[in-house]
């Protein structure tokens, strides 16, 4: 299928709502849940599979005329600059996932400032485009560290997709709004949360990740349709390159729950993505939420007022 045919097919899909497709660009050995079993200093010696998986994703998106936002680690950009340039050359948005996949909840303001500044600079140098978006590793911004959003604004980021309004054992701020908002008040950075379904007074994850691999595809399709139709809102979906890679090395010694979450249905993921891309319209975060972003003021780099920064 040519790019033009893929775009024509996209124009015939469900409804008039265009959703945001996002990819968290990290490799299998950088996943937070596996961190206790994989020393950070061993990363460079491990078999890295992210580049070949990214090429498969780019081809998949092109077949369906879809564009997306790639939240990319600075660590990846530093080692695979060609892959980053291919993301940009294919018309996708390049955004930041931080430098080394450190959870924001594990960093103080000084360390977080250094991390996002380093990552943004690397991505912009390699990709040749401005980086406006940021997603915290493991959605690790919540009620206890909202100061991070001010630092993102002060370092030139225009939006974040880092607060997941759900209950989860590793992340989540269930009381947060389900749709784009400014957590730090009028004039603050725009937060665009991953998709959730409101059911019986509780927010259920509907944005992808392990739930997309666990549940039947029909459940995800129905949830996204409801967000588009009942909420009249775009949905933000995400996945990782390692999720389409059932041949990735298995990490020994990990617990049953972690093993279940990480490896479940990897062999089915790519086919499910094919269906998802065919059933809905998808575009980049900066275009799907362009109207809200236009209302957000610019914050040039300035001395930060968050705790720990003078």
- Residue ranges and CATH numbers for the domains of the chain are 23-294 (3.20.20.370)
- For residue 236, with 0-12 CB atoms within 10 Å meaning exposed, 13-18 middle and 19 or more buried, which class applies? buried
- Please write the tens of the pLDDT for every residue from 205-221: 999 988 899 999 999 99
C-alpha 86: how far from chain center: 18
Residue 244 has pLDDT above 60, yes or no: yes
Residue ranges in the chain assigned as alpha helix (H): 3-10, 50-63, 74-79, 81-89, 109-127, 147-154, 209-214, 217-229, 256-263, 266-279, 285-288, 290-294
Residue 11 has pLDDT above 50, yes or no: no
270: helix, coil or strand? helix
In this prediction, residues 67-89 reach a mean pLDDT of: 98
Residue with tokens 């990735």: 248
- For residue 53, with 0-12 CB atoms within 10 Å meaning exposed, 13-18 middle and 19 or more buried, which class applies? buried
DSSP codes of every residue in 156-205 = T--EE-----S--SS---TTS-SSSB-TT-TTSPEE-PPPEEEETTEEEE
190/196 Cα distance (integer angstroms): 18
Say if CB 16 and CB 65 are below 8 A apart.
Answer: no
Share of the chain above pLDDT 90, in %: 80
- Please write the tens of the pLDDT for every residue from 97-130: 999 999 999 999 999 999 999 999 999 999 999 9
- Please write the tens of the pLDDT for every residue from 144-180: 999 999 999 999 999 999 999 987 656 668 889 999 9
């Amino acid at each position: 299928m040519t790019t033009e045919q893929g775009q024509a097919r996209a124009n015939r899909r469900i409804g008039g709502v265009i959703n945001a497709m996002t990819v968290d660009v990290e490799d299998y050995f950088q996943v937070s849940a596996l961190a206790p079993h994989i020393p950070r200093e061993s990363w460079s010696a491990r078999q890295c599979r992210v580049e070949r998986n990214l090429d498969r994703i780019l081809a998949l998106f092109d077949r369906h005329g879809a564009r997306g936002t790639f939240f990319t680690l600075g660590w990846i950009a530093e080692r695979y600059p060609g892959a980053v340039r291919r993301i940009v050359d294919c018309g996708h948005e390049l955004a930041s996932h931080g430098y080394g996949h450190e959870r924001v909840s594990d960093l103080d303001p000084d360390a977080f400032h250094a991390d996002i500044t380093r990552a943004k600079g690397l991505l912009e140098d390699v990709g040749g485009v401005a980086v406006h978006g940021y997603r915290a590793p493991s959605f690790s911004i919540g009620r206890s560290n909202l100061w991070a959003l001010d630092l993102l604004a002060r370092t030139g980021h225009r939006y974040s997709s880092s607060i997941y309004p759900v209950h989860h054992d590793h992340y989540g701020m269930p009381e947060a709004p389900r749709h784009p908002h400014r957590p730090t008040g009028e004039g603050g950075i725009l937060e665009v949360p991953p998709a959730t379904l409101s059911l019986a007074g509780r927010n259920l994850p509907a944005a992808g990740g392990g739930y997309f691999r666990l549940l039947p595809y029909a459940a995800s399709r129905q949830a996204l349709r409801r967000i588009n139709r009942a909420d009249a809102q775009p949905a933000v979906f995400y996945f990782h390159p390692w999720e389409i890679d059932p041949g990735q090395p298995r990490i020994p010694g990990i617990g049953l729950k972690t093993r279940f979450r990480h490896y479940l249905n990897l062999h089915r993921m790519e086919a499910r993505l094919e269906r998802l891309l065919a059933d809905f319209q998808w575009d980049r975060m900066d275009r799907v939420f362009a109207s809200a972003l236009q209302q957000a003021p610019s914050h040039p780099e300035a001395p930060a007022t968050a705790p720990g920064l003078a």
